[in-house]
Structure 1
């Protein structure tokens, strides 16, 4: 069995939330760990490490991905979007984040980053998403605190606001 030395790393360059960044990664380092420990983007959480809970969900080149199932090296040259990039300005929440706040759609907050990323992607790609579609997307996430109702209400509210309609 070969042990990798500390020098056995590769330089990884990617665009993180619109900013060019780089860091070093061993061949087996997960993207979630690279983001958290090498780049300091700690909003992406790691729960199950099997891609089941959804806490590590982010976007790679515009497509949702579970960062605990992806190697850092696979993100070379990619556009990676995490929850830290959702807010349009440091002092202003996105429409979806503000709806989560209004509807108390988070409690401990551990699952929230992944859910926000999935719902943000859904509302971007399917602005007319209905309750059933939102429930399908949220169903891919494990939340032990909220019971999902406030999350779904927040997503419906954000969808209505983004379409210019009435809030829930």
Structure 2
């Protein structure tokens, strides 16, 4: 079992990062967190977010197939990230922060955990995709050290619908 690196001193008091594993059991709350944090995209992106296709069962399976972490503050789930090893990268997916908890550094702290996982697995970079329309996300990821590396199209689209960003780890 992979444990998150010791980063607790970097986090606001009362925020804890935990591994989402077979003992997790808070799938309803996790699904609600993801859906609420992605809700602002509903009238902005096309095609709709894949978050809408998540179910409790598929979310639990995703956690078994990937390496996932949750941020917990005062007993509430406030963030999550799913990490998937790929050749040469650790793919970052479903990075979600509860709307009321944004701006506290939780997303950045979850990425620090992801960086630790990538290093443990000998992977030299993080990789993520974000929708082309979400320019504020592009800017945030750029501030966190990610660089735009590609534009991609979802099936059935002739225009770019997402961008890929990577962060090299030194």
- Per the TM superposition, whether the score is higher than 0.5 is no
Q: TM-score, normalised by structure 1?
A: 0.31
- The structure carrying a bigger strand percent of its residues is 2
